[in-house]
Structures are given as structure tokens and as C-alpha cells.
């Protein structure tokens, strides 16, 4: 499936830069999120583009292949091939000189650039020198693209040679639930959300979808089947990221997938000592594989932190695929799905639904009642007696959101009563607070009556799957949280 979904803001930003007289673009993001596909969508028919994809090989072989491809593309004279192959400085200098001599526009894309930077530390300095020398002499566009987040993101730091040169620094994120749902526009509303909970938001994974069949069939074919394209995807991903201890990282991800989101609970489940677990969590967070959530209202450095798999596909795989490896080796994927996956799928989707609602709130789902959202997060007490799925702040006003996934159940007024009780117990409720119930199921007649009277705001499947008309004007932050309880208790973390 080669459907191009979403990414309009990114396409517009890249198109504006590459359509100008010159640009220097840094594009980076997690593996499989669609960076290369995005560039190919924009540059696939651009005859001035030299698109080079690096790989894990020796510096000599990388340079020889680059020079050969430049010659094959007609961007480098064959008589200069030997001279260009001396080093990267020579190759790039000759390439730019020839473009300047003929007055031809050059769009040079170095994809998977981290492999070049790892083996050629001087490459950044070479690019800086050549950009300063040639950017005013010819229509030049340089694009550095890579998936090593820390390596790529640091290229713009003040201590780096390329500091101040980038016209655009674009951190490409995985798809959210709305763009994921757009891959299957004819599916039932609940199944469009279930898709996000199973396949997640990575573009490469969603490319294996067959919209003509249902979610169960897609799951069996692409994920559960040992011969399916995504059956080993998380293990391949951990190996490709060159994680220091893949077995420990896998154990942590498995614990998170089972619902263990507190540090001590993960340590107990995995058996890792605290210092080692802290290192593994930091490494996974740096790779965008897990999300670290501060409790709403807490400062940086607070010990009240929850961790979760950033992409729902990882949580699904470590919860349903890895533990059922033996069963999948002896039974059909359809049987394993019916016996092992389907009975627990709603429980898995319950935590994913909170992420869905969080994305909806950030996108403006509460704007009509609350206004633009400045901050959103979860709140929980130390004793576990008080839990608020989401708290959103707009100015000094708060909204409290209860998330109820089950698509086959009815949500009653009891959910609203409980939500208010928890908000009051946390010391956050005030007269102007907004209560919100989000559900994939039905709302009772009593709850709908209260919504009509303004006592509560209801978000159903139709509301969640409706794309906001325009993005919010203000900046929105998930963490760190900055809310201070004014007149409703201390600003320090509450037990």
C-alpha cells in the first residue's frame, strides 16, 4: 500500500524551502516513521536531485558508491571520478564546482546520514565550509536526513560546525491516531481507533495494511504470522538502534506493555537494579521508544513519573506477540488471535484510548468549552486512591477528563460523580472547572441530559474522529508541567 496520508504541514515547509533559491534542511526522526517516503514524495520527479542513501559499510565503500551514483546521475564528469574518490571533501567540492560551472540547480539529499557522520567525523565541517563557499554561487539545497536522534538533533547545537546554517530543522513524528485512521476511511469508527492501538503510528508499519479486509485479518497476516512483515519488527528495531543491552531493553518494554508504568514496579518485574534500569529507560527515551510522563502540576525532577511505550504497536507486540511465540509456532494466527488476543484486546486498548484522547485534547477537542490548551497531563496520588486520566489547563481554568474505552458499554452518571470526587480529593476542582467524559461507547440518557445543561462535556467516537478545523494558535506542552494550585493546596507534589 503506497497511500500518502497526512504530513501536509511538513510537505508545505519542505516545499517552501526547496522551492526557494537555496536551503539547508535537517530532517530526523524515529526509524520507520516515513522520512524517506516524505522526501521521495516531494523530490521523486526532481531531475536536479541527487538522492544518496548511506548504509552500514566501510567509509571507502560509502564514498565510492556516492561518487559512482553522482557520475551515473550526470552530476559529476566521469573524468573526475578518480579525483573525487580521494575523500568526501574532494567529492563534494567537485560536485558543487561542476554544478556552479554549468549553472544548474543542485538538491543533494544525504539519507541515513548518521552512518556517514559516525565514520567521517569531519563531514560536518566539510559541509559547513562548502555551504559557506557555494550557497551564494548556485541554487543549492542540502538535506541531511537520519534516524539517530541524538546524533542528528545535535548537528544544530552551538558547539557544532553547522550551527546557524539550517533553514529548517524538522523532527518527524509518528502518525497520531487521526492520521492512522485515515488509512482505513471505510472501517467502522471503533475499528479505526483499534487500528492505532494495534499497528501504532509508524508509516512503514501502516504501509502493510490491506483496507479491504478487517483488523483481525490484518493483524493475523502482518503481525501474528511468523512469516508476516511485522512479526519480528521490534526485535529488528532494537538491533538496528544498536542499543547497549537489547535483552534488558526488551524486558523493560515487556513490563511497560503489561501495564507496569512506575519505576519500582518495572524494576520488580524485570529484576534490574535501579541504576541499571535508569540507564535503560533513558536510552529508550532518547530513541523515542518510550514516553516519560510527569504528573500534572509537578516540577522537573519530580519522582512521580510514569513510563509508557511511545508507539502502541510496541506495547501490542510485547503483550501479545512475544509471549505467544510458542503458540504461534504450532497454531494458526487466527486461532491465537481468537484465544489469546481478542479476550484481552479491550484491556490493552484502554490505555491506548487515554493516549488518543490526550492527542484530541492537544488538537483542540475542548476548544469550544475551554479555549486553547496550554498544558495536559495525568494526575495520580501516591497511595493510588486518586486517579485522573487527564487534566488540561487553559490559562487558570482546568478541565478533567475521564477516558472510558469499551465500545460495547454504556457510560452513566456514576462516571461523572467519580470524576468530580477524584478532582476534589486532588485539591484541583473549582467552580469554573470543566468535567469531560470521553468514550468509545454509548452515553446514558441522564449523562446526555447533563451535557445539554452544561454540567459535563461528552466526547464520543464522532467527536474524536473529527479533525479540528485549524491548529491552535498557542504553544502546547505536555511536560514538564507548570501548573500551580492557586488557593487549592501546595504547589509541591502531593502524596
Where residue 308 sits, what CATH number does that domain have?
A: 1.10.10.10
**Are both 277 and 397 inside the same structural domain?**
no
Predicted confidence (pLDDT) per residue in 424-447, tens digit = 999 999 999 999 999 999 999 999
Number of compact structural domains in the chain = 3
**Are both 148 and 12 inside the same structural domain?**
yes
> Where a domain ends, among 294, 312, 340?
340
Q: Which residue has the cell 544548474?
A: 104
Q: Does a structural domain hold residue 155?
A: yes
**Are both 300 and 383 inside the same structural domain?**
no
> Which residues make Cβ contacts (< 8 Å) with residue 453, sequence separation at least 6?
none
Where residue 380 sits, what CATH number does that domain have?
A: 3.40.1350.10
**Are both 361 and 336 inside the same structural domain?**
no
**Are both 371 and 297 inside the same structural domain?**
no
> Would you say residue 18 has pLDDT above 50?
yes
Q: Does a structural domain hold residue 104?
A: yes
**Are both 315 and 397 inside the same structural domain?**
no
Q: Does a structural domain hold residue 301?
A: yes
**Are both 282 and 408 inside the same structural domain?**
no
**Are both 124 and 162 inside the same structural domain?**
yes
| pLDDT category of residue 296 using cuts at 50, 70 and 90 | very high
Domain that holds residue 16: 8-172
> Where a domain ends, among 315, 340, 365?
340
**Are both 267 and 316 inside the same structural domain?**
yes
Predicted confidence (pLDDT) per residue in 308-329, tens digit = 999 999 999 999 999 999 999 9
**Are both 393 and 335 inside the same structural domain?**
no
**Are both 16 and 144 inside the same structural domain?**
yes
Predicted local distance difference test score (pLDDT) of residue 376: 95
Q: Are 439 and 448 in contact (CB under 8 A)?
A: no
> Would you say residue 347 has pLDDT above 70?
yes
Predicted confidence (pLDDT) per residue in 35-81, tens digit = 999 999 999 889 999 999 999 999 999 999 999 999 999 999 999 99
| pLDDT category of residue 420 using cuts at 50, 70 and 90 | very high
Look at the pTM and tell me if it is higher than 0.85. yes
Q: Does a structural domain hold residue 183?
A: no
Indicate the average pLDDT of the chain: 91
> Would you say residue 489 has pLDDT above 50?
no
Where residue 77 sits, what CATH number does that domain have?
A: 3.40.50.300
**Are both 122 and 45 inside the same structural domain?**
yes
Q: Does a structural domain hold residue 374?
A: yes
> Would you say residue 408 has pLDDT above 70?
yes
Q: Does a structural domain hold residue 488?
A: no
Q: Does a structural domain hold residue 222?
A: yes
> Where a domain ends, among 285, 305, 340?
340
| pLDDT category of residue 158 using cuts at 50, 70 and 90 | very high
Predicted local distance difference test score (pLDDT) of residue 470: 52
Q: Does a structural domain hold residue 486?
A: no
Amino acid at each position: 500500500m503506497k497511500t500518502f496520508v497526512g504530513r501536509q504541514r511538513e510537505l508545505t515547509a519542505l516545499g517552501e524551502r526547496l522551492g526557494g533559491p537555496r536551503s539547508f534542511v535537517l530532517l530526523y526522526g524515529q526509524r520507520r516513521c516515513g522520512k524517506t517516503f516524505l522526501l521521495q514524495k516531494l523530490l521523486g520527479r526532481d531531475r536536479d536531485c541527487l538522492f544518496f542513501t548511506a548504509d552500514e559499510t566501510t567509509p571507502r565503500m560509502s564514498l565510492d558508491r556516492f561518487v559512482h551514483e553522482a557520475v551515473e546521475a550526470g552530476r559529476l564528469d566521469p573524468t573526475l571520478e578518480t579525483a573525487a574518490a580521494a575523500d568526501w571533501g574532494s567529492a563534494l567540492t567537485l560536485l558543487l564546482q561542476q554544478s556552479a560551472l554549468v549553472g544548474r540547480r543542485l538538491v543533494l539529499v544525504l539519507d541515513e546520514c548518521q552512518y556517514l557522520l559516525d565514520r567521517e567525523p569531519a563531514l560536518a565541517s566539510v559541509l559547513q565550509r562548502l555551504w559557506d563557499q557555494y550557497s551564494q554561487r548556485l541554487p543549492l539545497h542540502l538535506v541531511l536526513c537520519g534516524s539517530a536522534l541524538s546524533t542528528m538533533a545535535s548537528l544544530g547545537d552551538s558547539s557544532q560546525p553547522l550551527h546557524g546554517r539550517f533553514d529548517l530543522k524538522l523532527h518527524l513524528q509518528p502518525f497520531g491516531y487521526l492520521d492512522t485512521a485515515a488509512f482505513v476511511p471505510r472501517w467502522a469508527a471503533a475499528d479505526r481507533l483499534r487500528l492505532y492501538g494495534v499497528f501504532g503510528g509508524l508509516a512503514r508499519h501502516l504501509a502493510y495494511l490491506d483496507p479491504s479486509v478487517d483488523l483481525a485479518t490484518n493483524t493475523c497476516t502482518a503481525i501474528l504470522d511468523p512469516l508476516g512483515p511485522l512479526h519480528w519488527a521490534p526485535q529488528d528495531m532494537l538491533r538496528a538502534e544498536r542499543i547497549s543491552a537489547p535483552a534488558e531493553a526488551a524486558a523493560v518494554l515487556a513490563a511497560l506493555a503489561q501495564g507496569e508504568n512506575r519505576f519500582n514496579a518495572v524494576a520488580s518485574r524485570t529484576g534490574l537494579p535501579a541504576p541499571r534500569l535508569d540507564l535503560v529507560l533513558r536510552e529508550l527515551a532518547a530513541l523515542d521508544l518510550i514516553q516519560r510522563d510527569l504528573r500534572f502540576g509537578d516540577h522537573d525532577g519530580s519522582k512521580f513519573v510514569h513510563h509508557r511505550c511511545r508507539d502502541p504497536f510496541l506495547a501490542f507486540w510485547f503483550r501479545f506477540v512475544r509471549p505467544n511465540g510458542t503458540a504461534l509456532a504450532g497454531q494458526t494466527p487466527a486461532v491465537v488471535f481468537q484465544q489469546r488476543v481478542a479476550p484481552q484486546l479491550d484491556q490493552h486498548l484502554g490505555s491506548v484510548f487515554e493516549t488518543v484522547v490526550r492527542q484530541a485534547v492537544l488538537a483542540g477537542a475542548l476548544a469550544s468549552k475551554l479555549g486553547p490548551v496550554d498544558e495536559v497531563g495525568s494526575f495520580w496520588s501516591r497511595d493510588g486512591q486518586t486517579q485522573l486520566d487527564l487534566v488540561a489547563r487553559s490559562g487558570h481554568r482546568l478541565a478533567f477528563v475521564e477516558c472510558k474505552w469499551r465500545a460495547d458499554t454504556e457510560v452513566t452518571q456514576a462516571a461523572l460523580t467519580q470524576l468530580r470526587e477524584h478532582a476534589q480529593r486532588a485539591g484541583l476542582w473549582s467552580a469554573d472547572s470543566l468535567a469531560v467524559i470521553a468514550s468509545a461507547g454509548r452515553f446514558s440518557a441522564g449523562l446526555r441530559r447533563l451535557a445539554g445543561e452544561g454540567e459535563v462535556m461528552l466526547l464520543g467516537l464522532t467527536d474524536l474522529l473529527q479533525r479540528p478545523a485549524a491548529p491552535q494558535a498557542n504553544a502546547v506542552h505536555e511536560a514538564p508541567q507548570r501548573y500551580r494550585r492557586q488557593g487549592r493546596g501546595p504547589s509541591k507534589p502531593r502524596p
